[in-house]
A and B are shown apart, each in its own frame.
Chain A
Amino acid sequence: MTLEIGQVPSPVLRPPATVMDLQRLGALSSTRLSFSRSLIRKMGRQRWQIVRAKFDLDELGYGEAIYRIQTPYARYHVVIFAKALADSERSDRVIAEAWDLTFGLVEGDVEASLMASLAENVPLQEAGRQHPQLLVISRANRSVRNFSACVDSLSAGQQPAIELLKTAGYLYRTTAVYGNGKFGIADYRQLKENPDFRHPFSAQMCAVYVLRQFSIDQVEHIAQCRSDRATTLIDPVRRYVGIGNSTGLGMAPFLINHPLLINQWVHMRETALSLAKQQIPNEISQHELIVLVTRVLQSMKNLAVEDAEQASRNQEVTEQLELVRIWLQQVAAEDDLWLQLTDWAEAALSLETQELINALLIELYPDQVDFLEDAMSVEEAFDLVPDMPLVQLRQLIETHFDWALNERFNTEDGQYWFWYRSVEKEEPRLGIRHVDKGVEKELALAIGPRIQHTHQSINDYLDESPTSLTIDYLMAQPREVDIIRRIQTMASSAYGEIRANLWHRDMKPMHLLRAKLSFLGASRFDPRGDRWVRVTFFQGAPLLSELNAEPTDLSAFDDWSFPVCPEQPNTSIPQP
């Protein structure tokens, strides 16, 4: 039984103190509202057509390729440049200057003069002057082990060892995917009215999705050039190939500098969770959840991550999810079954298990939650309210930013790190306060200490001028205008501020990265220390051939998360 439109009660959302805890944000799973999921649904629903328009590669797979995207509204092209790269040059760092391939998503057609400009500049990435017809530029490095093994197997007429795709579910991993005007490409404001890519990061997701197809096409091409016996990947294996991504601290400032957007994303996710939890379960939905949990368990058992701590957490999730499955199989479908489940999870299960269960509950109710994907954008305006009485501003701080007032920022551990940008490609880095150079150029990413400082300063000012306005205070303390604008704006946005001391010695930037990556739709989180993570996108997603077939049954475009590894094909497949 579901609630009818018009009967949906006001959702009761989890408190921001729970949701915006950094450790919990670092345990988030992707949901059906994540941007890669929304994009694939839309592509299927609108019958996008994506075809290979150019595939000019040599026998080693180096050269140029173009994929044409036709939507109901417009035409785009993904242009790819693949070249030889010495192993010693292969780096996922922002400071790298060469990659196995570079690519871009172009709005409109690619005329010869544009192609010449792209060929000259896209391979240079940050060092190039990019064309304003580009909506996205990016680069990717091979998973050397997977790529070579895949080519070797296909050349020998065999399917690759599936075990390899369990350790890294991709042939290429992107190392930065740039949009919004970077290095001369089109501004995001141009996309706001674009029916194809007005959702956040949808253009970036689209470019990455097409790259996945190229990675498959390229290994098959190389294998066929190498041997007459070569075969192609079978579709179940192709589907299990995703695109990797390697993300570092560069992503962290985004979450701090866009609190209104983060608030919107989290608010929609929490709304979806609340709506799902309010649905009255029945035997059908209970069975659907059991099926989903079973698939997730199988998917996670297929997952081999290198990071020992993450492997341990995954093991814990698997064990706890097995208990959840047994529980679901035993209990009756009572009206409050979902609440029983989430209450139990909150009380007894790990953060990752809790958030995974939340994602699965959301998964059950597309009709109730999918409309929220259209509400993921927001105008980011921080306006001052200059005539707000200063006592009211103080009250706002004490009401909504108590988490910052309760922190101790003056201890050695409490102010251990500082954030800065390096002169090397402006790479964000962490320095140790009182040890490393550059503290005078610290980025103001730690919001907590600024709020606490401002609160104290306002208290002092009010002692002298108890009836003053915010603007009176700012005329005396002009450098505080940005933090006060932020306080006034975010006081009415529950989920914008990450409640953590980003200076603290125990702070893990990884949590920031995972939070954003989960909204993008990443899976298979495999950290490399506290500051880098490798993830996979689009593993299990339908293939271009399935999209181009314009199927009437769109279930494969809706339900492809947590893919189960295909059985190892043990026979060679004849060339079609």
Chain B
Amino acid sequence: MKVSFNELESLSRKAFIGMGFSDGQAVDAADMLCWMESLGFEGLKALSDALAQYSLEHPHAPAERLYQDTDVTVLDAHNASVLACSHLPLELTFAKARARGLSILKIRRCRQRQLIMGYLARLANRGMNITAFWRNSQQPLTEQVVGFRANSSVPSIRIYAVSEVPEETQENTGISIVMANHVDLLPTMRSDYEYNLLAKHDEAELLDARSQSGSRGITVDDALWATLNQFAKLTLVESTGNSRLGAGPAD
């Protein structure tokens, strides 16, 4: 089915609240999702994955702080989606970069990491240079680097497969983020090791994509929409004859 951006933003925000997110967390999560869709990325696919992994009975706990000093923060998200665990740690990193020039955030064990770009875009708009790095899959091993210039709302993105890497057995579902006040952190590919560039998106291309997107609605899977509606309904109050009077007699 086709939906508008406003519908997607509104329903997903209500659904996140129904899932137990705070109002602010829900607004940010919906914003991250819509940002992805506005650039034609697969935000809805990531959302679908996030919903499949979510349990109302066992909602996400806040990310656990493993280490923090004035420049570096390391968190363990315990496999929560970045929709649920990233916005305040990113704000913390932003504040540290403002104070120290550069700061680093590592979130271990988090999911749907590509959605974090939506929040990074907001921070970049506030004058911060940002780069984010994560590994996507093991076979072939692919890496993604996303760089935002300060005051730009779209990133430069590189996705590439690597082969010449030391064997690693530990699952890597973490994401590393660097923020810098004054230094451009856009990705430029340069390596002595072999890699295969799979995707390359630059700012101009993404700006163009955004201006073209959504003019005739966003295509959403019916089942996903129904799931969002189910969660959103958890925010609504059952109606009774008495409660109808709560809107006042109109007729």
Contacts from A to B (Cβ < 8 Å): 90-95, 129, 132-133, 180-190, 246, 248-249, 383-384, 386-387, 420-424, 426-431, 436-438, 441, 444, 469, 471, 474-475, 478-483, 485, 509, 528-532
Contacts from B to A (Cβ < 8 Å): 1-7, 10, 22-25, 27-28, 62, 87-88, 91-92, 94-95, 98-99, 122, 126, 214-217, 233, 235-240, 242-244, 246-251
Q: How far is the CA of A438 from the CA of B244 in the complex (A)?
A: 13
Q: How far is the CA of A183 from the CA of B3 in the complex (A)?
A: 7
Q: A422-B237, A478-B22 are in contact. Are A181 and B4 (CB under 8 A)?
A: yes
Q: How far is the CA of A531 from the CA of B247 in the complex (A)?
A: 7
**B3 to chain A: closest CB distance in Å?**
6
Q: How far is the CA of A436 from the CA of B238 in the complex (A)?
A: 11
Verify B246–A429 contact, CB threshold 8 A. Answer: yes
A249 to chain B: which residues have CB within 8 Å?
A: 247-248
**14 extra interchain contacts, Cβ-Cβ under 8 A, other than A423-B238, A482-B27, A532-B248?**
A129-B1, A248-B247, A387-B99, A422-B243, A423-B233, A428-B247, A429-B244, A429-B247, A430-B247, A436-B242, A437-B243, A438-B243, A475-B88, A479-B22
Q: How far is the CA of A184 from the CA of B238 in the complex (A)?
A: 26
Q: Once A and B bind, how many residue pairs between them come within 8 Å at the CB atom?
A: 152
A190 to chain B: which residues have CB within 8 Å?
A: 214-215
Least CB separation from A429: chain B residue: B246
Checking B3, B27, B250 against A528 with a beta-carbon cut-off of 8 angstroms, the contacting residue is B250
Verify B236–A478 contact, CB threshold 8 A. Answer: no
Verify B1–A532 contact, CB threshold 8 A. Answer: no
Verify B244–A187 contact, CB threshold 8 A. Answer: no
Name, among A133, A469, A475, the residue most crowded by chain B CB atoms within 10 Å (CB to CB). A475
Q: A441-B237, A471-B92, A531-B248 are in contact. Are A132 and B4 (CB under 8 A)?
A: yes
**B164 to chain A: closest CB distance in Å?**
40
Least CB separation from B7: chain A residue: A181
Verify B237–A184 contact, CB threshold 8 A. Answer: no
Verify A431–B122 contact, CB threshold 8 A. Answer: no
Verify A532–B27 contact, CB threshold 8 A. Answer: no
Q: A129-B1, A424-B244, A479-B22 are in contact. Are A387 and B95 (CB under 8 A)?
A: yes
Q: How far is the CA of A163 from the CA of B247 in the complex (A)?
A: 31
B244 to chain A: which residues have CB within 8 Å?
A: 95, 422, 424, 429
Least CB separation from A470: chain B residue: B95
B6 to chain A: which residues have CB within 8 Å?
A: 180-182, 187-188
Verify A441–B235 contact, CB threshold 8 A. Answer: yes
Verify A421–B236 contact, CB threshold 8 A. Answer: yes
Verify B5–A482 contact, CB threshold 8 A. Answer: no
**A249 to chain B: closest CB distance in Å?**
5
Closest 4 CB pairs of A and B: A181-B6, A531-B248, A181-B4, A482-B24
Verify A528–B248 contact, CB threshold 8 A. Answer: yes
Q: How far is the CA of A94 from the CA of B244 in the complex (A)?
A: 11
24 contacts between A and B (CB under 8 A): A92-B250, A93-B251, A132-B217, A180-B4, A182-B6, A183-B7, A184-B3, A187-B6, A190-B215, A246-B250, A249-B248, A386-B92, A386-B94, A420-B236, A421-B235, A422-B239, A429-B243, A429-B244, A431-B237, A437-B243, A441-B236, A481-B87, A528-B248, A532-B248
Verify A437–B238 contact, CB threshold 8 A. Answer: yes
Verify A478–B98 contact, CB threshold 8 A. Answer: no
**B84 to chain A: closest CB distance in Å?**
10
B242 to chain A: which residues have CB within 8 Å?
A: 436
Name, among B87, B99, B236, the residue most crowded by chain A CB atoms within 10 Å (CB to CB). B236
